[in-house]
């Protein structure tokens, strides 16, 4: 598998700045910085992140909020990568083994949390979760505030970790091509790469196509449901009648 240095060297060679074997150390350092900046930018885009992970943490009774991140306020919510961008699903876990029970938590937004007139009311098992992605640690507000040390289970998207020069580059299929070509694009302006014979135009198309393959794999298809039970219909609602070219005001086909 290639290292981060290999990815950087390939990018420099791809835009004909330097051959892999002749790359200056200062250029290699600059290229690695650009690579990690790319990872940082992609972490803010859910289409660029290839999956989600599930983590479990033991709650501290009567604590609200819990923080999550590299320096969380409780060791059980310390993560090895930066705090999650978002929490997509969450459960309270009670018991273990064959007696394990999951209690689903409603994921709420900021307005919902601010509308709570009694935010500090306690209960054994909370019912709702609001996540504020502060920095460097995110804040997890539970309602009601848990009075027992149950386990919180959260689903959140993974983050592309920052790399050192010697770190192994290991990501799902398609990422090496997408990242290398995108890094080549990032080198064009700092090194004044000329658009000889339309080379940069081809690079833009290739990089866009490579990113589309990766981002397309990461697209999540939402669950759909109809407004009414069974097949949707136009009863009781205005609708366009393609037979008459008029808005029939409801009632379906003539």
| 103 within domain boundaries | yes
Check whether residue 92 and residue 69 sit in a common domain: yes
User: So what's the pLDDT on residue 253?
Assistant: 44
130 with 98, same domain: the answer is: yes
* Residues paired with residue 205 on neighbouring β-strands, in sequence order: none
- What pLDDT sits at residue 250? 47
Nearest partner of 142 among 86, 197, 63, judged by Cα: 63
For 28, the domain range is: 4-48+167-218
Residue in 66, 69, 72, 88 with CA at minimum distance from that of residue 80? 69
Q: What is the pLDDT of residue 251?
A: 46
Residue 129 has pLDDT above 90, yes or no: yes
Residue from 11, 34, 33 nearest 23 by CA: 11
75 pLDDT higher than 90: no
Assigned token pair, 153: 């289970």
Work out the number of other CB atoms within 10 angstroms of the CB of residue 224. 5
| Residue 228 in domain | no
Per the model's pLDDT, the better-predicted residue between 12 and 159 turns out to be 12
Percent of the chain with pLDDT over 90: 66
Give me the chain's average pLDDT, please. 87
For residues 144 and 197, membership in a common domain is answered with: no
Better-predicted residue by pLDDT, 107 or 233: 107
Of 138, 154, 68, 70, whose CA–CA distance to 105 is shortest?
Answer: 154
What percent of the chain is modeled with pLDDT above 70? 85
Extract the tokens encoding 112.
Answer: 């919902």
Range 112-117 contact pairs with CB under 8 angstroms and sequence separation of 24 or more = 113/141, 113/143, 116/143
Same domain, 110 and 41: no
Mean pLDDT of the region 60-77 = 86
* Three-state helix/strand/coil letters over 203-243: HHHHHHHHHHHHHHHHCCCCCCCCCCCCCCCCCCCCCEECC
* Res 230 pLDDT > 60: no
Whether residue 17 is found in the same domain as residue 102: no
pLDDT in tens, 236-252: 555 555 445 555 554 44
pLDDT computed for residue 16 by the predictor: 92
pLDDT at 79: 73
d(CA 134, CA 83): 8
pLDDT for the residue numbered 225: 59
Domain total for the chain? 2
Q: Among 157, 183, 202, where does a domain finish? A: 157
Range in 3-12, 132-141, 193-202, 213-222 the model is least confident about: 213-222
Q: What is the pLDDT of residues 9-49, one digit of tens each?
A: 999 999 999 887 789 999 999 999 999 999 999 998 989 98
In a domain, 231, yes or no: no
98-104 own/partner pairs: CB under 8 Å, 24+ apart: 102/153, 103/127
Same domain, 107 and 19: no
The pTM of this model reads: 0.74
**64 and 148 in a common domain:** yes
The pLDDT of residue 221 is above 70: no
Q: What pLDDT, on the 0 to 100 scale, is given for residue 21?
A: 78
Residue with tokens 């990568």: 81
């Amino acid at each position: 598998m290639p290292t981060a240095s290999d990815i950087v060297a390939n990018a420099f060679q791809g835009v004909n700045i330097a051959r892999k074997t002749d790359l200056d150390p200062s250029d290699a350092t600059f290229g690695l910085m650009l690579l990690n900046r790319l990872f940082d930018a992609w972490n803010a885009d859910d289409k660029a992140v290839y999956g989600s992970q599930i983590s479990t943490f033991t709650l501290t009774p009567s604590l609200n909020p819990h923080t999550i991140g590299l320096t969380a306020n409780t060791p059980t919510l310390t993560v090895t990568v930066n705090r999650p961008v978002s929490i997509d699903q969450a459960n309270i876990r009670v018991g273990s083994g064959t007696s394990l029970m999951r209690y689903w938590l409603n994921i709420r937004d900021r307005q919902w949390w601010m509308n709570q007139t009694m935010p500090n009311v306690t209960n054994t098992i909370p019912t709702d979760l609001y996540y504020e992605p502060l920095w460097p640690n995110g804040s997890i507000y539970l309602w009601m505030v848990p009075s027992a040390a149950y386990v919180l289970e959260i689903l959140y998207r993974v983050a592309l970790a920052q790399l050192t020069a010697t770190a192994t580059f290991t990501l799902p299929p398609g990422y090496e091509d997408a990242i290398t070509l995108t890094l080549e694009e990032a080198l064009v302006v700092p090194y004044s790469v000329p658009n000889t014979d339309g080379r940069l135009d081809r690079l833009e198309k290739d990089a866009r196509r490579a990113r589309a393959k990766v981002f397309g794999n990461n697209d999540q298809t939402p669950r759909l449901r109809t407004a009414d039970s069974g097949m949707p219909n136009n009863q009781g609602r205005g609708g366009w009648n393609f037979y008459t070219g008029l808005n029939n005001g409801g009632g379906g086909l003539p």
